[in-house]
Structure 1
Amino acid sequence: MSATGKLSATGWFRDRLAGPTRGPATVRPTGTWPKTALALPFIGMALVICLDYFSTIEVTVEPALTAVPALAAIVSRRVWYPILTGFLAEIAAFGLAAYNHVLGESVHSATVFAIALVTAISWVSAMLRVRQEQALADAQLVAEIARRVLLRSVPDRVGSVRAAVHYAAAAAHARIGGDLYEVVNTRHGVRAVVGDVRGKGLSAVETAAAVLGAFREAAHQEPALEKVAGWLAVSLDRALHEHEHPGVEEEFVTLVLIGVAPDGSAEIVNCGHPAPLLLRGDGTVRALELAETVPPLGVLDPEQVAPPVQRVPFEPGDRVLLFTDGVIEARDRAGQFYPLAERLPVCATGGPVEVLHRLHADVVRHVGKQLGDDAAMLLLQYEPMPNGSAQQLPHQNGRLARQ
């Protein structure tokens, strides 16, 4: 493939990953200075010149000009900017030396050499930073592609429910972690899963991929929701034996499964995961907790996995929120956990996408900074299809709410 072809393919991937609602998939370097900061090297140069001109002390401040190219490398990502400011600093140094009659003095020679040396170092530093940022951009692009393959978009409507998902990674440049989610429309009704893999990094991604792959198959094949959990346990056990992850002592997955039939009857299976929240149309919130505690998948042998099924009738307009512990374990500066059950009714205005946006913004305000853990939220709103209407399939296009 030619170089032009490679650039075109990369651009196509970036355009596809940007999507209709996310904007360009470009990398914004952290710590970028505003454009007005480009004037700082010239302001510093002017201050040195003025200080030398108006000073009554018989000591030249010419060596202070060595800071100009270093400052240029800090405030600008342009590799030529340190060279430009260094060249101007050399001119200013000769001007000050001529004004102070020290052109032949060692202090002037040392200043000229120091400015040239700092300029060269600043240029090399700027070059290395640009290369590192480009490498980071390429890595983010690959991670974004992997995330789109593993965590597929969720349509606005899936069968008898409206759906939205919001995923926020803990790291500033991370695009994928150990949280997982999926919604599928099957002949048994709409089925969804939200889970959290213990650990982070590549091992968590591999484990999440195994669980999601098994769910996408089992959700269509198994009529009983508890059998779907058993299928996931078998697939997880096989994946953990096939892929060894050095340094990880114990691997397991907490998850909650939910199935919503067209008539509104819902089934919930929970394996060591935080209980979903049911928000009724009248604004009341109820945690769908089970009387019997079931350990996460990966703790018991697959044949011992037989979680109980909780059945809940849904009314039109009822909403159920599935989430990972990154949401409820978000702490403020006083160490208080985020009160999700209390804040959900306040944020539950508008459609599912708007609700999740408000919830995420509320969590960030509670913490006061970036979240310290991955946080995923999936909201399902029961809205039965009109009689005789064709149900939308999961592969149809829809919006996706993300961080």
Structure 2
Amino acid sequence: MASRVPLLVLLIAVTCLSQFYRVSNSVIAPELVRDLDLSARQLGWAGSAFFFALFAVQVPVGMWFDRFGARRTVAALSIVAMAGALWIAVSTTAFDLIGGRAIVGVGCAASFMSVVFLCSRWFPPARLATVLSWVFAASNIGTLAAATPLAWVAATVGWRMGFAGLAAVTVLVAVCFYAFVRDRPPEAPAPPTKKENLSEIMKGLVEVWMTPGLGPVLAMHFFAYATMLTVLGVWGGPYLYDVHKLDAVARGNVLLVMGVAQILGILAYGPMDRLLRSRKKVVLGGAALSTALLAVLALLPQPPLWLAVSLLSAFCFACAFGTVIVAQGRALFPDRLAGRGVTTVNMAQCLGLAVLPAGMGYVVEAFGANDMAYRIAFAALGLGLVLGAAVYLRSRDSATAHS
């Protein structure tokens, strides 16, 4: 286990950075709107640009994983993320912000799937969901850092300096990842492989897409994490500002609570597939509870702040079941297709993350960025979870043993 500690620490570090980048717009959204003269629609696209970029490069990332390994892929792309962070730091227009976030999205495209790719090799299958829950829960230190700490940085030295500092941290993590991470444990040396030509690469991709049971998993994965992050990472801050009139630090404090709730949810869902011997039951239960909480947020006019915060935090806890879907998706593919398989599953999540925040931006702008606008948006997000779960009902369960 000792040899796995550096791996886990650096996987947490690289996913912390990705989490920070993805949710950083939420707490400083009013400041971005002020400084860059953004509309609600442009703010929504700035939130989605990161995820459109993630989606666009998932296929090549999967091929790079299988050909070059996660170590070299993550380290190289992290340098791209650094460049995007610097662009954001000097941005003066909506185009700069959206473009910078897209570049950062490319740079973070391998981060989360490297966790699945590497942990599936370093840990036994029965423990995969639990280990993933540890890493993904700890990665939310990045989410927490993008709440009150980022609000404090923005209020003291400005959000631009915050992103400049983050660029330096990104380079440091990239160097350490390359230096200390290995693609396989020492007791499991890589099997002999031959370099694939273009025809064989495409054949592998077709094999991945023809995998039985993939479609329902993709449908649920499109909505699950994307719904939660649309609220926590993009529109939670604007909602607290537009409806409850909270300043930056107060918004950061609420988002911090929501982020902690998500971490606790990830940890709670992690071992459930072994306890229930079913991943499908865990996912459907989480989707049902999340939908119910969104329905309450949609039906309650102008809830008091304490109730709104309680409901938002409970929602972040309940909607943290995406890790279980990831483990279920990884179980569909053999090791030789692991890179292309897990990135194909991640494409659904990335597409959801690209579509839902931008879609919510259109709703909020159309209805005037008021209480009713956000209630309609919450209802739309809940409907999406229902649609995803309806398709997911046809999925094949992947039960896991207690040990």
Give the TM bin, normalised by the shorter chain: under 0.3
Report 1 or 2 for greater relative contact order, CA contacts < 8 Å, sequence distance ≥ 6: 2
Give 1 or 2 for the bigger CA radius of gyration: 1
TM-score (norm 2): 0.25
Q: Which has the higher strand share?
A: 1
Q: Which has the higher helix share?
A: 2
